[in-house]
Structure 1
Amino acid sequence: MTVSPLPYPLRLTGTGVILREWRWEDLDDLVALLDEPGIARWTLMPSPFDVEAGLAYLRRAQQGRIGGSRIQLAITADGGPPLGEVLLFNVHSEGHEAELGYLVGLPFRRRGLATAALSLLTGYAFDALGLRRLLLRIDRGNTASTSVARRCGYRPAAEPPIQQDGPYGPATLDTWEYLENRSGPQDDRRKNVAARRYGRR
C-alpha cells in the first residue's frame, strides 16, 4: 500500500549539496556518470550505459516523479551539473517506511557528497513526509556504501540477506535501517551533517 503521491517538483538544499530534479539536458552528464564499471558492479544498471539507456532512464525518472511514486534527484554542488543521484522509493504507508539509494560518479567521490545527499533526503523523509523507518539495500562487499550508511546513522537491520543476480554474478544485499525512535549520536548526526532548507520549485 503506497502513500499519496510524493511531492513534485522538489529541490532540497543542504551543506555542500543541492538536490534537484533531473532534466533532459542532463543526458550527456548522466551517461558519463553511469557508464562506469564501479556503478555496474554494485547496481543493476545496464552496462555499457549508452545514450539510449540514458534516455530510457530519464524517461522512467520523469514518469516516476510526475506520478508521485518516487523521489529521484540529481546530486549537485550548486544546482548545476549532476554529480550523482539519490532516490526514495517503495514507500509503504502501513509501515511508514521507504527505501533509499544513492550513487556518486567516479570523478566526484571522496568529497562527502553521498553522505550529505543521503542525510538531506533522510531528514526530508522524516520531517516532511512523516516516515518512521528508512531502508538501504547494500551489497555486503560495497564497503564505500556501507561507510556512507554508517556516517548517516543507518545500522544493520535484523533481516535476512537478499540474494540477487547482478551483472558480475550473484550478489548478497544486506538491509540497513534508520529508525525514527532511535535517539543519540545518530539523530544529532542527521541534524548536523545537512543543515537543511527544504523547498519546492
Structure 2
Amino acid sequence: MTEPPPWPGTPPAHGAVVLREFTEADVRLALELGEDPYVPLIGSLPAKPTRREAEDWVRRQQSRHAEGRGFPFVIDVRGTGVGTIGLWLRKLSEGIGIVGYSVSPAHRRRGFASDALKAITGFAWTVPGVERIELYIEPWNRGSIRAAEKAGYRNAGLLPAHQEIGGTARDMLLYSRIA
C-alpha cells in the first residue's frame, strides 16, 4: 500500500462549517443519521443502529484515511456534528476524487451541505493527483442537487443504472468540477 496523502494541517472550512476528524462524540451523529431512511442505503452505517453499531461505524471512519481510502470528515457547525462528507480516492489513479455527503435530517435546509462541499473542494485541489471531483446524485434528490450547484458543480449527465442502492441499480446524475 502506498502512503496516503497527508491529513490537512488546517481543517477545511467555509461559511459556518468546519470539516474535522471523527471522534467518539460522533456516535450521537451516527445514531441520528441511522434514523434517516436513505442514509443507511448509501453507505456502511446500518439502519437504526444500536449504540455498538454506531461506535463501530465511527471507528471505521477513523481508520479510512490510514487505509488510503480517502478523507472522511464530520461537518461541524459551532461544535456540533451535523453531517458527514468524504473525499474518496479509489479513482485517484485516473485523477478523480469522489465526494459523498449526508446531513442529519434535523440540520438540513440550512446551507451546511453546500458549505461543506465548498470546503472539501478547496481541500481536494491540494491533494496530489486530484484533477476532477465527481458527485453521484439520484435524480429525485433535489436538496443534494441544489447543494452541488450552489457549490459550483455542473451536471455532466445521467448515468443509467450506475449505482446499487438498497439492492437496486439506480440512475445517477454525475456532477463534477475540474481543477
Normalised to the residue count of structure 1, the TM-score between the two structures is 0.76
Q: Displacement, 1:37? A: 1.8
Distance of 2:33 and 2:93 partners within structure 1: 35
Are 2:134 and 2:177, in contact at CA under 8 Å, matched by a contact in 1? yes
Distance of 1:98 and 1:75 partners within structure 2: 18
Distance of 2:127 and 2:114 partners within structure 1: 20
What SS does the corresponding residue of 1:118 show, helix, strand or coil?
A: helix
What SS does the corresponding residue of 2:65 show, helix, strand or coil?
A: helix
Q: Displacement, 1:136? A: 0.5
Name 1:65's counterpart in structure 2: 65
Distance of 1:46 and 1:17 partners within structure 2: 26
Aligned Cα RMSD in Å?
Answer: 2.4
Are 1:33 and 1:83, in contact at CA under 8 Å, matched by a contact in 2? no
Q: How many residues align?
A: 176
What does the per-residue CA deviation read over 1:71-127, in whole Å, with 9 as the maximum and x for residues that have no partner?
A: 00101112x22100110103434432110011111111111100000011001111x
What SS does the corresponding residue of 1:102 show, helix, strand or coil?
A: strand
Are 1:163 and 1:171, in contact at CA under 8 Å, matched by a contact in 2? yes
Normalised to the residue count of structure 2, the TM-score between the two structures is 0.85
Distance of 2:57 and 2:173 partners within structure 1: 25
Distance of 1:105 and 1:81 partners within structure 2: 11
Q: Say whether residues 1:160 and 2:156 are aligned partners.
A: no
Change (3 A) 1:173 1:50: farther
Unaligned runs of 5+ in 2: none
Q: Which of structures 1 and 2 has the larger relative contact order (alpha carbons within 8 angstroms, sep 6+)?
A: 1
Q: Say whether residues 1:148 and 2:147 are aligned partners.
A: yes
Name 2:120's counterpart in structure 1: 121
Are 1:162 and 1:174, in contact at CA under 8 Å, matched by a contact in 2? no
Are 2:30 and 2:57, in contact at CA under 8 Å, matched by a contact in 1? no
Name 2:101's counterpart in structure 1: 102
